[in-house]
C-alpha cells in the first residue's frame, strides 16, 4: 500500500476541481438512491459509494484524446470526462433524453466522437481485449493515446481478462487497467475467489508492470495513475493498478448486503474517501470556507436543475424501438491517421519480417553449447530453475530427459 506521505503537488485549481467531482459523485449517488426508492428508476441501480476516489483519481490522470471504458460503478470517470448528472439520471429513468434515448436503464452508454468513451460491457472482463485493441489502433494510426478501463476483483477470474492482458503484454499496448478490489464479487469475498493477497500479481504473471494503491486515498490514486499513464504513453507497455477499496452498499439496490460483516463495514466507513480528501484539503490549506460553500452550492444547484430536466423528460415513443438496431449507412467510420501509411509498409516499416531468438527458447545442456551458455542468463544455463510462488513454496521445472545417443 502506498503511504500517505507520498503526495504529488496539486495546483489549487486542480485540488478544488477534484473536490467538485468527488462531491458531485457522492451527492448524485445519494440522489439516485432516493429516486430508486420512489420507484422512478427503471431496472437496477448500481452505486459507487466508497469507490469515488478510484474512478475520479484515475480518469483525472488522462489527457483529452485518451480513451476510457468505464464499468457500472465508475460514474466518477464519466463526470470527469464531461458527462452531466442529467445523463446518468435520464439513463436510469429510461427517458428519451438519455444518451441511449431510453433504450437502456443503466449506464451502458458512451461517446465515440467527442469524449472517447466506450460503453460498458456486462460480460465482465470483455473490456480488457476491447481496450487493448483501441490502444493498439491508436499506436498504429500514429496517435499518442492511452486507453484505460476498469475491472473488479471478481472480473479478474474471467477468461477474457487473462486473454486481454496477455495480448496487451505481448503487443506492449498503451493500456492502463484499474483493478478495483472492492472486497466482494457480489456476495463472494476475495479470499474465496483467489489465493492471492495482492491481485496485482495476476498482471505480473504476464510481465506487466503493476501497482497496489490505497483506493480510498484520492491523492495516492492520482499520483500512481499519472505515473502509469506516462509509462504507457512512452511505450513501456501496459500497466495495471490494483486499488484496494470497499463497496459500501450491496451489489445493487436490491441487495441489502447482509453477508458483509458489520465490523468490516465500520472499518471501511472510517476510511471514507471523501472525508479523507476533505481533511487533506484543510491540512494543506487548499480551500477556504467560501470555496467549500461555493462548491456545495454549485453541486446542489446543478443536481436540482438536472433532476427537474430528467423528471420532465418524456419516455421514448414506441416507434423509436425499431430505430438504431442496425446501421445501414447511418454514419461513417473513418480512421484518424496521424502518420504516413508508408511507415507501416516495407521498406520503411521498422519491423523486420523474421523471428529470431537465441537457443530458439530452449534450455541448452549439451557441452557443445558452452560458449553460448556463457552469454545466456541463469534461467537458460541451468537444466532446472526454481520459481518462487506467492505462498513462498518452491516448485521446480525439471529438465526433459536427455535422448539416448545412437
Domains and CATH numbers, the chain: 12-322 (3.40.50.970), 355-397 (no CATH)
pLDDT above 90: percentage of residues in the chain = 65
| Separation of alpha carbons 109 and 87, rounded Å | 9
SS3 13: helix
Q: Using the predicted structure, report yes or no on whether residue 383 has a pLDDT greater than 70.
A: no
DSSP tag of 55: H
Report the pLDDT value the prediction gives residue 349, as an integer from 0 to 100. Answer: 76
What whole-number distance in Å separates Cα of residue 55 and Cα of residue 62? 12
397, 380 Cβ separation under 8 angstroms: no
Question: What are the tens digits of pLDDT across the range 132-176?
Answer: 999 999 999 999 999 999 999 999 999 999 999 999 999 999 999
pLDDT at 111: 92
Contact 228, 239 (CB under 8 A): yes
**C-alpha cell belonging to residue 59:** 480518469
- Confirm if 1 and 244 have CB atoms less than 8 A apart: yes
Tell which residue, 67, 113, 79, has the closest CA to residue 233.
Answer: 67
pLDDT in tens, 187-201: 988 888 888 889 999
pLDDT of residue 385: 54
What is d(CA 42, CA 308) in angstroms, rounded to the nearest whole number? 17
Which residues are CB-contacts of 110 (< 8 A; sequence separation ≥ 6)?
69, 99, 117, 118, 119
Q: Which residue has the higher pLDDT, 394 or 141?
A: 141
Q: What per-residue confidence (pLDDT) applies to 367?
A: 54
Residue 239: enclosing H or E segment and its boundaries?
strand 239-244
Residue of 157 and 257 predicted with greater confidence = 157
| Local confidence band at 384 (pLDDT 50, 70, 90 cut-offs) | low
Residue 106: what pLDDT?
84
Encode pLDDT of 65-124 as tens digits: 999 999 989 999 999 999 999 999 999 999 999 999 998 878 899 999 899 999 999 899
Closest CA to 51 of 317, 238, 245, 239: 245
pLDDT, greater one: 171 or 1: 171
H or E stretch at 75: helix 75-80
Which of 17-31, 85-99, 201-215, 336-350 is the least confident region?
A: 336-350
Residue with the bigger pLDDT between 385 and 49: it is: 49
Spatial contact of 179 and 238, defined as CB atoms under 8 Å apart: no
Mean pLDDT of the chain: 87
pLDDT per position as a tens digit, 287-338 = 999 999 999 999 999 999 999 999 999 999 999 888 878 877 777 778 889 8
**Antiparallel, parallel or unpaired: β 147-152 and 175-181:** parallel
- Closest CA relative to residue 214, chosen from 21, 18, 75, 54: 54
Pull the grid cell for residue 347: 521498406
Provide the whole-model pTM: 0.85
d(CA 223, CA 373): 42
C-alpha cell at 226: 499519472
Amino acid at each position: 500500500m502506498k503511504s500517505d506521505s507520498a503526495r504529488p503537488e496539486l495546483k489549487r485549481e486542480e485540488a478544488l476541481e477534484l473536490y467538485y467531482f468527488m462531491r458531485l459523485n457522492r451527492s448524485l449517488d445519494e440522489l439516485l438512491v432516493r429516486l430508486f426508492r420512489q420507484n422512478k428508476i427503471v431496472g437496477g441501480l448500481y452505486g459507487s459509494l466508497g469507490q469515488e476516489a478510484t474512478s475520479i483519481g484515475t480518469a483525472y490522470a488522462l489527457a483529452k484524446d485518451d480513451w476510457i471504458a468505464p464499468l457500472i460503478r465508475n460514474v466518477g470517470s464519466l463526470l470527469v470526462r464531461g458527462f452531466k448528472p442529467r445523463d446518468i439520471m435520464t439513463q436510469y429513468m429510461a427517458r428519451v433524453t438519455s444518451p441511449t434515448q431510453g433504450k437502456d436503464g443503466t449506464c451502458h452508454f458512451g461517446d465515440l466522437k467527442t469524449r472517447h468513451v466506450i460503453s460498458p460491457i456486462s460480460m465482465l472482463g470483455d473490456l480488457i481485449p476491447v481496450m487493448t485493441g483501441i490502444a493498439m489502433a491508436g499506436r498504429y494510426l500514429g496517435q499518442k493515446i492511452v486507453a484505460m478501463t476498469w475491472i473488479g476483483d471478481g472480473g479478474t477470474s474471467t477468461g477474457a481478462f487473462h486473454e486481454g492482458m496477455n495480448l496487451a503484454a505481448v503487443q506492449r499496448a498503451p493500456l492502463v487497467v484499474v483493478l478495483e478490489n472492492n472486497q466482494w464479487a457480489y456476495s463472494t469475498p476475495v479470499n474465496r475467489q483467489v489465493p492471492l493477497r495482492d491481485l496485482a500479481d495476476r498482471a505480473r504473471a504476464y510481465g506487466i508492470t503493476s501497482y497496489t494503491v490505497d483506493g480510498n486515498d484520492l491523492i495516492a490514486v492520482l499520483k500512481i495513475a499519472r505515473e502509469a499513464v506516462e509509462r504507457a504513453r512512452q511505450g513501456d507497455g501496459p500497466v495495471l493498478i490494483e486499488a484496494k477499496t470497499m463497496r459500501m452498499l450491496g451489489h445493487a439496490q436490491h441487495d441489502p448486503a447482509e453477508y458483509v460483516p458489520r465490523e468490516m463495514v465500520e472499518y471501511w466507513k472510517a476510511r471514507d474517501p471523501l472525508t479523507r480528501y476533505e481533511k487533506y484539503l484543510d491540512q494543506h490549506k487548499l480551500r477556504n470556507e467560501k470555496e467549500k460553500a461555493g462548491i456545495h452550492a454549485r453541486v446542489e444547484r446543478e443536481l436540482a436543475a438536472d433532476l427537474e430536466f430528467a423528471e420532465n423528460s418524456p419516455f421514448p415513443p414506441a416507434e423509436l424501438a425499431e430505430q438504431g438496431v442496425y446501421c445501414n449507412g447511418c454514419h461513417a467510420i473513418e480512421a484518424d491517421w496521424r502518420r504516413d501509411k508508408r511507415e507501416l509498409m516495407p521498406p520503411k516499416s521498422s519491423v523486420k519480417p523474421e523471428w529470431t531468438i537465441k537457443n530458439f527458447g530452449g534450455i541448452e545442456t549439451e557441452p557443445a553449447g558452452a560458449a553460448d551458455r556463457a552469454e545466456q542468463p541463469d534461467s537458460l544455463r541451468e537444466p532446472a530453475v526454481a520459481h518462487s510462488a506467492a505462498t513462498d513454496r518452491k516448485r521446480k521445472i525439471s529438465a526433459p530427459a536427455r535422448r539416448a545417443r545412437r
